[in-house]
Amino acid sequence: MTIDTGTEVPARTDVEPSTWTGSLRRTWLRTLPPEKMLPESQPTYVASWIYVFGMATIVALVLVIASGVILTLGGLQWWHTTPIGHFVNSLHFWSVQFFFFFMIVHLIGKYWMAAWRGKRFLTWATGVFCFIMGLATAFTGYTITTNFNAQWIAFEAKDVMNSVGLGGFMNTTNVGQMSLWHIVPLPLAVGVLVVMHVLLVRKHGVVPPIDAIDPALEAAAQAGPAGDPAVAS
C-alpha cells in the first residue's frame, strides 16, 4: 500500500532512461539546456545594430503568416473587393517586402562576419535555405494575385518549366495549384527552417565579430577531452 505524504520525491538524474521520452528529454537537455534556450545575458557585441536584423526578419515573418492566414480564410478574390481585404492584402504585401529586406541585410552582415565559424556551418546553411524557400514562396504568391503582371509572370515561368522538363509536374498558370504550394508546403518549410535556425543559434551562441572572442570556442578551449578544465603542460 502506497501512502501519499504530499511531498514530491525528486527524480534521479543518474539513472539511464528506459523509455524513448526519457532519452529524448536527456538529449534535449544536453543539446539545448535551459541556460542556452533562455540565456540571462548576452555578450556586449550583440548590442551592435547588425544583430537587430535577424529578429526583425522573424517579426516580419510573423506578420506575413498572420496576414496570410486571414487572406486564406477570405478566399482568393475577396481582397480585391472589400476595404478590409485591401488593408490585409497591403499588410501582407509590405510585410513580405520588409521580410526580404531584413533577411538580405542579415545574410550580407553574417557573410562578412564569416558566420559559419565555430561549428556554425549548419546555422549558416539553414539561413541560406530559408532565403531560397522564401523566394519560392514569394513567387507562388505573386502568381495568385490574379492581375496582369501575375498572369504574365505565370506564363513566362510556365515556359521555363517546360524547357527544363518540369511543366508536367508544376503548372504555374494553375491558380489552384499555386495557391496550394503557397499556402501549405512552402510556408511550412520556411517555418521549419526558421525554427531550426533559431535553435542552432541558441545552441552555438550568437556569432561574434571576427576580431572578438567567441565565448563558445573559449569555453571549449578551456575544457579537456572529457569536459574537465585543461591542464597546461
Residue 21, CA distances (Å) to 25, 26, 184 in order: 6, 9, 29
Look at residue 189 and tell me if it is in a domain. Answer: yes
For 51, phi and psi rounded to 5 degrees? -80, -5
- Domain final position from 82, 102, 122: 102
Structural domain of 161: 114-205
Residue 92 belongs to some domain of the structure: yes
How confident is the model at residue 232, as a pLDDT?
38
Model pLDDT, residue 221: 65
The predicted model scores a pTM of: 0.79
According to the model, what pLDDT value does residue 61 have?
Answer: 96
Q: Does the residue 4 lie in any domain?
A: no
Task: Let me know whether 174 and 122 are in one domain.
Answer: yes
Could you tell me if 179 and 170 are in contact, meaning their C-beta atoms sit under 8 angstroms apart?
no
Q: Are residues 122 and 95 in the same domain?
A: no
Number of helical (H) and strand (E) elements in the chain, helices listed first = 9, 0
| Residue 67 in domain | yes
**Residue of 205, 65, 30, 191 whose CA lies nearest to 126:** 191
Domain count within the chain: 2
Residue 68 falls inside a structural domain: yes
- Domain presence at residue 138: yes
- The Cα–Cα gap between 86 and 80 comes to 6
The 3-state secondary structure of 162-231 reads HHCCCCCCCCCCCHHHHHHHHHCHHHHHHHHHHHHHHHHHHHHCCCCCCCCCCHHHHHHHHECCCCCECC
The pLDDT value given to residue 78: 84
Residue range 110-143, pLDDT digits in tens: 999 999 988 899 999 999 999 999 999 999 999 9
Which cell numbers in the block locate residue 36?
A: 542556452
Question: Does 228 have pLDDT greater than 50?
Answer: no
- Same domain? For 158 and 86 the reply is no
What confidence tens digit (pLDDT) does each residue in 77-114 have? 788 888 999 999 999 999 999 999 999 999 999 999 99
Residues 58 and 89 placed together within one structural domain of the fold: yes
- In tens, the pLDDT along 209-222 reads 887 777 766 666 66
Are 147 and 189 found together in one domain? yes
> What are the tens digits of pLDDT across the range 163-208?
888 878 888 989 889 999 999 999 999 999 999 999 999 988 888 8
Q: Are residues 119 and 68 in the same domain?
A: no
**What type of residue is 122?**
L
30 has pLDDT over 60? yes
Beta-carbon contacts of residue 182 (< 8 Å; ≥ 6 apart): 137, 140, 141, 144
